[in-house]
A and B are shown apart, each in its own frame.
Chain A
């Protein structure tokens, strides 16, 4: 009999993140599909009661918690000890968890400790002939595989944004607290804090409705034979400001910045999407001045509606990949779009 454990960490404010609710929905779906399976919930954090209560109406029949000040931080050694203790307490055979940076870091190691296996960046969980199956992408989102495993425990890390979040209601959950033995060695690392750009300089917005992709064309010579980098910078930042879009970039543009050239200074490798960057999830995507083939376009594998602006009507980035390709000068189009959007910001 399978025991399915939703394993999540609580946020600093004691709440459960949307990604945890998405994983819970996936765990519940698996629980419904596999006959006679159990569904349990395990939470890690400084305190977990509020988070457990917030999903108490879900069909889980047991709640486990690992709590303490040391577990309020995202740190491998302490997180591994807590996750290991919870999995053992629940006698879990399948552990479903959100693929957050915190869990991505630690749960593969916990799988190793428990003699299990782990699959990450999952985009789907299902069952075939009563056996659980998972779907994930290989070779940087270029091919999708469905697989199953015999080994247990099996850790399944669900990519945030790939599932619908559960809407379980609140209630009162009886949480069984599980002791975690933290060796002195587990405190060799201290979390100092979080570093982030100032709010108005943050260009990566995972929850944005729109992904704006800037390609290297913004820094190339334009029709007058000159580059217009300061103008490009202003146009892009104005667009982001008025639309609250998230900014992605091609590798070539980011690399130019890394090589010390004075181009679009607000771009970093964190903005990079594609073969060697991120594959963010947004409902809409607008690429500008991009060119290239498959390695670049995988960057918007998970973008819903896609439009592109390029001077090249045969642009490999757009043909067959975008819904609409505007053959036009992005400088002129974005300048006009900024005017229109700024005139009615409340409509966005």
Chain B
């Protein structure tokens, strides 16, 4: 199998178990106590990273970079865990990880940093990322990064990548109705926005973690300060859903009675 240069773009998101509350800051909406919330690598970006690690392991000579934009302190915290999963080199950008930032600005920052990676061979380039994020959840950033890098073979909602013997790529993308579109791409460069894929989360490997951390700390120290202007974007309001349903709790009915009630409800 040919070697690949795999770049994974992945941001930080609050741990999904945290309670989130929007507040308005001078720069626009943000989350209350955002800097104090525990963070994780975005779930779909994590899948992309696991797929990248899996592919690199099976294609000798391949290399994986993780390009991540977030507050430096949080990046360091998250990398302590992520570094134990897959061998990679970090390209860190020190900036906001908020879902309310402008996707086009994020794309510009990511693309610019990718273009400065030493030794990157575009003929081997596979640009990975999540097909959405758990913050903005728009699924638009990767396409804009791809356009900035002149990559016009793009796939979103990817669940499977097979590298054929001739070097071509067979890709399964999620489409409507629980189906997949199957496409064949001649080869790199290509962009894949991953859905969940099929790989389980790799177990923590302390040895991988130690190897990664040797390069991670210098990368974090070199993290370029990145400001996102968000020009022309105006949030008029961000609100939590107020609807709280008055749940009727049914405790005293038999399964048969409940089944009858449910059947009637379904038939209505």
Contact = CB atoms under 8 A, between A and B. Distances in A.
Interface of A: 74-77, 80, 100-102, 104-106, 108-109, 111-113, 117-121, 128, 133, 136-151, 160, 185-186, 188-197, 202-206, 209-210, 243, 255, 258-260, 269-272, 275-276, 284, 286, 293-295, 301, 305-307, 309, 313, 318-329, 332-337, 339-341, 344, 347-348
B162 to A, nearest CB: 12
Contacts of A76: 152-155
Contacts of B223: none
21 contacts: A77-B152, A80-B152, A101-B181, A105-B156, A108-B139, A118-B140, A139-B99, A139-B137, A147-B233, A147-B236, A194-B179, A202-B178, A204-B177, A210-B266, A243-B266, A260-B200, A276-B43, A320-B245, A323-B248, A324-B248, A348-B267
Interface of B: 13-14, 16-17, 19-20, 22, 29, 31, 43-44, 99-100, 102-104, 107, 134-141, 143-144, 146-148, 152-157, 159, 170, 172-187, 195-200, 231-241, 244-251, 253, 255-256, 258-263, 265-267
Contacts of A295: 16-17
Contacts of A269: 159, 195-198
A137 B137 contact: yes
A173 B190 CA distance: 38
Closest 4 CB pairs of A and B: A204-B178, A336-B259, A150-B232, A108-B140
A118 B139 CA distance: 10
B236 A270 contact: no
Nearest to A113: B147
Given A275-B43, A325-B249, 10 more contacts: A76-B152, A80-B152, A101-B175, A105-B154, A109-B143, A139-B135, A142-B241, A145-B235, A150-B233, A295-B17
Contacts of B255: 328-329, 332-333, 335-336
Contact of B134 (A139, A305, A313, A321): A139
A175 to B, nearest CB: 26
A111 B263 contact: no
Contacts of B140: 108, 111, 118, 120
A103 B57 CA distance: 33
A348 B263 CA distance: 9
Contacts of B22: 138, 143, 145
A258 B195 CA distance: 14
A322 B243 CA distance: 11
A313 B249 contact: yes
B259 A101 contact: no
Contacts of B245: 306, 320-323
Contacts of A146: 235-238
B248 A144 contact: no
A111 B248 CA distance: 47
**Residue picked from B144, B197, B244, B261, most chain A C-beta under 10 Å:** B144
A272 B196 contact: yes
Nearest to B238: A145
Given A105-B155, A325-B248, A112 B134 contact: no
A292 B173 CA distance: 30
Given A76-B155, A191-B181, A196-B180, A259 B137 contact: no
A101 B173 contact: yes
A117 B104 contact: yes
